[in-house]
Structure 1
Amino acid sequence: MTCGIYLTFNGNCEKAMLHYQDIFDGEITITMRYSEGPPEFSTPEIANKIMHATMVFGNNCEIKASDSFHEPLNKGNNFHVSILADDNESAYSYFSGLAEEGKITMPYNDVFWGGKFGSCVDKFGVQWMISSNAENV
């Protein structure tokens, strides 16, 4: 069994995935536009938008995403993408990249449960939790 994150964006999925690819040194393995899918799901307004994208990074990490195609997108606050980094240097780099032009909700720092942790909302409205264990700092 696997479990992953699927993010939906309001027309800026490609920009967001390229941003995440840069931060996590990832590889976008799938990019499918609405124009490549069934005609009933594509209109001229969204033909070039992302129907599905997959980015892989790290040790077996994956983010999947798409642009919304039929309803207005309501961003919620009931999810975070949680990343446990291999080391503190990587964790801080991820956090800094994600927080840039976003909002820091908890600065990246030592935490009482061990290791380091920080949370932020990136410039696309996605909430992130970045941590590194005490053993790998």
Structure 2
Amino acid sequence: MTRLWSDAMRTNPYLIFNGNCREAFEFYAGLFGGRIEAISTFAGTPAESYVPPDWKDKILHVELRYGDNVLFGSDAGDQNFQKAQGFGIAIVLDDIAEGERLFNGLAEGGTVKMPFGATFWAKRFGMVDDRFGTPWMVNCGQPE
């Protein structure tokens, strides 16, 4: 069988926002201790002609790196935006204190779907839709 991708293939979430992508990614960079490595707006690109004048400074593409992770995003606009559903971005780590910090940060202004607590499969687990509507799951360690 011929392989189309190398062993270095990665899967990275690409988040779509309705005009607040910059705010979301600045928040994520601070919370995750990452850095925005690439950011471009609609202005000055061929895509500029497809957005209203007040959207020229909205995000066409952004790339955030934190640890070995990469998160991508963009603004879609009213007619192309759909609320995220049917998935969650899983954060998996061993450090319960760090997991709680991340969960609480994501929960600020958001909606907790499952409180951060012990489960049969993890020392701590919680689900939250952050204030931007992005669904997250924080999973910490295996139970004893």
TM-score by length of 1: 0.90
1:48 to 30, 33, 57: 57
Q: Deviations over 1:67-103 (max 9, x none)?
A: 0047241203211111112411111111000001111
CA distance in 2 between counterparts of 1:36 and 1:86 reads: 44
Structure 1 residue 96 and structure 2 residue 104: aligned? yes
Instruction: Rate the CA distance shift 1:69–1:101 in 2: closer, same or farther, 3 A.
Output: closer
Q: SS state of the match for residue 134, structure 1? A: coil
Q: SS state of the match for residue 8, structure 1? A: strand
Aligned match of 2:82 = 74
Q: How does 1:14-93 map to 2 (within 5 A)?
A: 14-38=22-46, 39-58=48-67, 60-69=68-77, 71-93=79-101
CA distance in 1 between counterparts of 2:74 and 2:54 reads: 15
**How far did residue 134 of structure 1 move?**
2.8
CA distance in 2 between counterparts of 1:134 and 1:117 reads: 10
Q: Which of these two proteins has the greater Rg computed from alpha carbons?
A: 2
Counting matched residue pairs gives 135
Instruction: Rate the CA distance shift 1:76–1:69 in 2: closer, same or farther, 3 A.
Output: closer
TM-score by length of 2: 0.86
68-77 or 16-25, which moves further after superposition? 68-77
Contact 1:35 1:42 in 2 (8 A): no
Q: SS state of the match for residue 75, structure 1? A: coil
Structure 1 gaps of 5+ residues are none
Structure 1 residue 130 and structure 2 residue 104: aligned? no
CA distance in 2 between counterparts of 1:122 and 1:76 reads: 11
Contact 1:102 1:123 in 2 (8 A): yes
Contact 1:11 1:49 in 2 (8 A): yes
Structure 2 gaps of 5+ residues are 1-8
Q: Which runs of 4+ in 1 moved over 4 A?
A: none
Identity %: 32
Q: SS state of the match for residue 16, structure 1? A: helix
